[in-house]
Amino acid sequence: DVKVTQSSRYLVKRTGEKVFLECVQDMDHENMFWYRQDPGLGLRLIYFSYDVKMKEKGDIPEGYSVSREKKERFSLILESASTNQTSMYLCASSPSLGAPGNEQFFGPGTRLTVL
Amino acid sequence: GQNIDQPTEMTATEGAIVQINCTYQTSGFNGLFWYQQHAGEAPTFLSYNVLDGLEEKGRFSSFLSRSKGYSYLLLKELQMKDSASYLCAVYGGATNKLIFGTGTLLAVQP
């Protein structure tokens, strides 16, 4: 079974703190994604990566950065957390970007609250 | 622009059939996915359509009409455990990114 794990299920941080969200997949997938999910807005893509050290901006990259030093690990970084970044963060992976039909496998999500 | 529309909420009765519609307008099209997401859990893959027609998988079927920019997910013999959000997502051709609708929250009642 494909497994995508995220470092925390729940996280509470203070405004201005630097926040790291970690995601690990065990299926040797090339592509990894970070989304946030908010009521009424659905899943929105923050960043994605199609290879080690490669990254592409998604639809809402402002206030976020990412790091992919190893194929299995994709980190999302909030340099200075703000209250409007309170959300559910979902990581996903898929085997190939250029082959539609390859589904994305999601991690369990991290519910981040910024106070 | 890119837009995916689905109803926000639906209610159905255990044992019945329900159809969840999805319409899309995207700059390209390389396939449409349906995902199921239970409250507090990760989305899980249900179906994928890239050609027109109906794809059947047990109690779940998904239909696609590319000319109409339209898909539906059909759930038969509804069970209480089918209460969840159902997400429609389209692979936009130009970007290869998956674009999600806001999801349809389905409540199955006894």
Q: Dump pLDDT digits (tens) for B24-62.
A: 998 888 889 999 999 989 999 999 999 999 999 899 999
For chain B, give the percent of residues with pLDDT over 70: 95
- pLDDT over 70 at B96, yes or no: no
Q: Do B103 and A42 touch (CB under 8 A)?
A: yes
Taking a C-beta distance cutoff of 8 angstroms, is the pair A91, A34 a contact? yes
Taking a C-beta distance cutoff of 8 angstroms, is the pair B109, B43 a contact? no
Taking a C-beta distance cutoff of 8 angstroms, is the pair B82, B91 a contact? no
Closest by CA to A23, choosing from A87, A68, A84, is: A68
Which positions ≥6 away from A50 have C-beta within 8 Å? A30, A31, A56, A97
Q: Which of A42, A90, A103 sits opposite B102 (nearest CB)?
A: A42
d(CA B73, CA A59): 26
A107 touches chain B (CB under 8 A): yes
A104 touches chain B (CB under 8 A): yes
Q: Which residues of chain A have pLDDT under 70?
A: 1-2, 97-101
Residue B98: band (very low, low, confident or very high) from pLDDT cuts 50, 70, 90: confident
Chain B contact residues (CB < 8 Å to A): 8, 30-31, 33, 40-45, 48, 50, 87, 89, 91, 96-98, 100-103
The pLDDT value recorded for residue B110 is 95
Closest by CA to A40, choosing from B51, B103, B31, B86, is: B103
Closest by CA to B21, choosing from B59, B65, B76, is: B65
- pLDDT over 70 at B72, yes or no: yes
Nearest C-alpha in B relative to A40? B102
d(CA A18, CA B46): 36
Q: Do B42 and A43 touch (CB under 8 A)?
A: no
The pLDDT value recorded for residue A40 is 86
d(CA A101, CA A93): 13
A54 touches chain B (CB under 8 A): no
d(CA B53, CA B63): 5
Name the average pLDDT for chain B: 92
Residue A94 CA, chain-centre distance (Å), reads: 13
Q: Do B30 and A100 touch (CB under 8 A)?
A: yes
